Amino acid sequence: MLEEAADHVEVVRRLWDSWEDDAEIRDVASGRFIDRDKLHHIGFEGRHFSVKGPSITPRPPQGQPLVTVSAPAGGPPRLVADSADLVHIAPRDAREARALTRAVLDARSAAGHPEGSGRVFADLVVFLDDGPGAAAARLGRLDDLAGEPLAAGAHVFAGTPGELADLLADWHRAGGPGGFRLLPGVLAHDLPALTRALVPALQRRGLFRRAYGPPATLRGLLGLPRPAGRYATT
């Protein structure tokens, strides 16, 4: 399955590159929409499928959309090392966050990716309330209703927005992930709490932007380079 997934990623990356950036002419006077010399067959032949190409749509504004992969607990497989721009890890504490981050970055380096070409984000399941102990009590009630503790596959945090901001800062400063994917424990309650309470707490600590500006793509906001088209003739 991982081999097939890696082939799938390779195919879509080739298809994203199959149009050169300036392949679109859009010349009304001559009636030409594209420069056919700047469209390329990808000619992929793999064990699971083959694709001739090119893509039916132009190259995306950010060159290639992000490919994100969740790293398994047993270590980063080839799919993580070779194929991902953004890798999600699920550490239990700051020490494990540092170790998993290092393992992913080392695997990418061994696969030939330059430093700074990928990002590692940690997953946390979040229960947020303003009052001390309120989030933990709410999680306890939910566990009682379910008849067992929450099995989330990631670190479960229950506390105040300020406590969560401190935890994220501690994990990052300890050499851990460069970012976080925060999963609301209860969507209707905890998602608004993340945006209305956690973001200001992070901003007060200088850990979150106060405005969005150029570059306008997700790659740019994450500080990732725009990939060059592999088939470009110039």
- Would you say residue 183 has pLDDT above 90? yes
Does the structure show a pLDDT above 60 at 95?
Answer: yes
| CA atoms 158, 161, 167, 172: torsion sign | positive
Task: Judge contact between 122 and 180, C-beta under 8 A.
Answer: yes
Q: Identify the pLDDT of residue 179.
A: 94
Model confidence band, residue 4 (pLDDT cutoffs 50, 70, 90):
confident
pLDDT at residue 64 greater than cutoff 60: yes
Smallest CA-to-CA distance from 120 within 5, 32, 223 is with: 223
Q: Look at 74 and 202; give whichever has higher pLDDT.
A: 202
Highest averaged pLDDT of the listed ranges 17-31, 125-139, 215-229: 125-139
Q: Is the pLDDT of residue 77 over 90?
A: no
Residue 119 and residue 222 in contact, taking contact as beta carbons nearer than 8 Å: yes
**Quick one: average pLDDT of 133-140?**
97
**pLDDT exceeds cutoff 80 at 230:** yes
Q: Is the pLDDT of residue 57 over 60?
A: yes
With 80 as the cut, is the pLDDT of residue 200 above it?
A: yes
**Residue 76 scores a pLDDT above 70:** no
Query: Using 50, 70 and 90 to split pLDDT, how confident is the model at 75?
Result: low
- What is the pLDDT, as a whole number, of residue 114? 87
Mean pLDDT of 90-115: 90
Pairing between strand 50-51 and 68-70? Answer: unpaired
What confidence tier does 127 reach under pLDDT thresholds 50, 70, 90?
A: very high
